[in-house]
Amino acid sequence: MIKSAQSKVEYLVTYIVWGLSILLLLSMIFLIYKMVGPGFSTIRWDYFLSEPLNSGRSGGISSILISTLLIVGVCLFVAIPIGLGTAIWLTEFTTSQSFLGQNIRRSLDILAGVPSIVFGLFGNALFCRYLGLGFSIISGGLTLACMVLPILIRSIEVGIRSIPSEHRFSASALGLSTFSQLYHLILPLAVPGIVVGLVLGIGRAVAETAALVFTSGYVDRMPSSISDSGRSLSVHIYDLSMNVPGGESNAYKSVFVILILLFFLNTLTMFLADRLLARKVMNE
Amino acid sequence: MIPENERQIFKENFDNQNLAPKPFLQTHELSMSYRAKKAFHNISMPIHFGKITAIVGPSGCGKSSFLMCLNRLAEMIPDTQISGHIELDQNNLMKNGACTVALRKKIGMIFQKPSPFPFSIRKNIILPLMEHGQKNRRILNEKLEFVLKKVGLWDEVKSRLETSALQLSGGQQQRLCIARALALEPEILLMDEPCSALDPLSSAVVEDLMKDLSKDYTVVVVTHNLAQAKRIADYVAFFWVQEGAGSLIEFGPTKEIFENPKNPLTLSYISGFRG
């Protein structure tokens, strides 16, 4: 068989691409092993069920898990309706050239890159002080919502814009109202974009540390309500590894829990998006 | 809506060609521009009741845009300006308060590319009906069967009404789209090159269907295919680009346009010298 120069280049490129992928995969496996390994081997069920003792050196993380879920819950409860609404407004009610639409999009792109510490200080000033919510789960959740919204809106917008315009034209030609076009056609077809936005948003919310230190505080007791202060898992990990001598083993366990939590929340998101929206369309 | 007796009179008028037919739909100096570019300019033409009107002409002469103005779909395209007016049954369609939902129920549209929704075959037809207030399941099923039979699709799909419409072939999808439009009982069907994205066999089926539909509906069809226009149309409108915008060059009965065109441009287009 004669190999031309071109086919040699093709072989080379194939090897490079494979090599890089394997390198990436190995480093991911190594990372997860290093993070999960120590926690996985020592974690017990009662770690999830008991409250932290002695600044978290012993005991569990029940109160922290509850606080985390409440903070993320408040964040999504606020961010999802506003995010969907804004994305729909940007795609359906403004043209891509309009002054308002263009500037809102630009602002969102800038906001998506703002460091979380800035959001934290903003949340502290607005929610904790100006609105008088104090260091509380609700302040933390609202601050996270502000952080998550730019990513959420832009992903949903891209999802909606990727829908072929023929669908809109034929729906309008059949006299379907804007509402039923959205409900039956546009949103179900935009599910991939919505899921991407939510997964990225949840990831950012669960991982957030700096913004929460300034807004939801870091007491580790069980929160009595959402207007009480609460410590999130990421803050707990930060505190155990930086401020509490002898906290490493429990920090590793929390790292394991946060990965499980992310996996669980993402799976739940995909499941719900499929159940609520994607079932309405049949692609094949 | 036109009362049934008047509809009969219209038909009789056409059948004995002696009386000058009154147009059913009439555009008056209709112009459309997209940003700074004019799509078509000052088009005044009648659409006659119960007849097939074919709009022919080269690409980019505003045929499709003109068609999309007739059910006010062109307004959905950003940055378009439309002037002039369209009269249907002596009502001005371009009036600001005119209800586009009711209008689009009355004037159905078929696009060049078959565009069924990503739903089941049944839902494709039933959803618009439900949207327009029909909730009775028995009537919905009757209409579903009626329109699918009308487009000759019933025997092909009756055993798989719940499967995705996207599994159908191109020609079947286009017929489903026609059935979907017919289910709303429109009076006028606008067809934007309904055969051009189909293979020759499907194209022939859809063409026969168009001929058949003209017994019950007023049809306006945009086509590139002169032979097709000659075969099916009762009236032909010939569009050409003049001074950078699409213009109506000639309008008349098909026989006249093809055998005795008044405008030299029409003659050179239909005989294949230009366009």
The verdict on a CB contact (< 8 Å) between B127 and A176 is: yes
Question: Roughly how many angstroms between the first and final C-alpha of chain A, as a whole number?
Answer: 42
Output the DSSP codes for A143-167: HHHHHHHHHHHHHHHHHHHTS-HHH
Alpha helices (H) in A89-190, listed in sequence order: 99-112, 116-123, 137-161, 165-173, 178-180, 187-189
User: Alpha-carbon dihedral of residues A213, A215, A218, A220, nearest 10 degrees?
Assistant: -140
Distance from CA of A182 to the nearest CA of B (A): 13
Asked whether residue A1 carries a pLDDT value surpassing 80, the answer given is no
- Measured CA to CA in angstroms, residue A69 lies from A73, A140, A231, B14, B85 at distances of 6, 12, 11, 74, 59
| Best mutation target, A90, A93, A97, A170, to test chain B (most B CBs within 10 A) | A170
Q: Average pLDDT of A95-124?
A: 89
Average pLDDT for chain A:
89
The verdict on a CB contact (< 8 Å) between A282 and B100 is: no
B131 vs A contacts (CB less than 8 Å): 174-177, 180
- Top-confidence residue, A199 or B97: A199
Smallest Cβ–Cβ distance between B113 and the set A95, A166, A175 belongs to A166
pLDDT at B4: 58
Residue A283 carries which side chain, given as an amino acid letter? N
pLDDT tens readout for residues A132-154: 888 999 999 999 999 999 999 99
pLDDT at B7: 55
pLDDT at A143: 94
A62-88 vs A137-161: helix crossing angle, rounded to 10: 40
CA-CA-CA-CA torsion sign (B125, B126, B127, B129): positive
Smallest Cβ–Cβ distance between B166 and the set A175, A184, A283 belongs to A283
Token readout for A250 is 């429990």
The verdict on a CB contact (< 8 Å) between A175 and B132 is: yes
- Encode chain B (275 residues) as per-residue pLDDT tens digits: 455 555 555 555 444 444 445 568 888 888 898 888 888 888 899 998 888 999 998 888 888 899 999 888 888 888 888 888 888 877 787 776 667 888 888 899 999 889 999 999 999 999 999 988 888 889 999 999 999 988 888 988 889 988 999 999 888 999 999 999 999 989 899 999 888 888 888 888 888 888 888 888 899 999 988 888 888 999 999 999 888 888 898 999 998 888 888 888 888 888 877 76
- Interface predicted TM-score of the whole assembly (ipTM), two decimals: 0.82
A170 vs B contacts (CB less than 8 Å): 109, 111, 115, 117, 177
pLDDT at A272: 87
The verdict on a CB contact (< 8 Å) between A166 and B73 is: no
The verdict on a CB contact (< 8 Å) between A189 and B118 is: yes
Q: Average pLDDT of A111-137?
A: 92
pLDDT tens readout for residues A246-269: 888 888 889 889 988 999 999 998
Q: Average pLDDT of A69-84?
A: 94
Distance from CA of A80 to the nearest CA of B (A): 25
The verdict on a CB contact (< 8 Å) between B111 and A166 is: yes
Entry pTM: 0.80
Smallest Cβ–Cβ distance between A175 and the set B76, B131, B165 belongs to B131
Output the DSSP codes for B140-195: HHHHHHHHHHHTT-HHHHGGGTTSBGGGS-HHHHHHHHHHHHHHT--SEEEEESTT
Say how far apart CA A149 and CA A197 lie, in whole Å.
9
Residues linked to residue B37 through DSSP beta bridges, in sequence order:
B34
CA B142, distance to chain mean position in Å, is 25
Burial annotation A240-269 (CB, 10 A radius, 16+ → b, else e) = beeebeebeebbbbbbbbbbebbeebbeeb
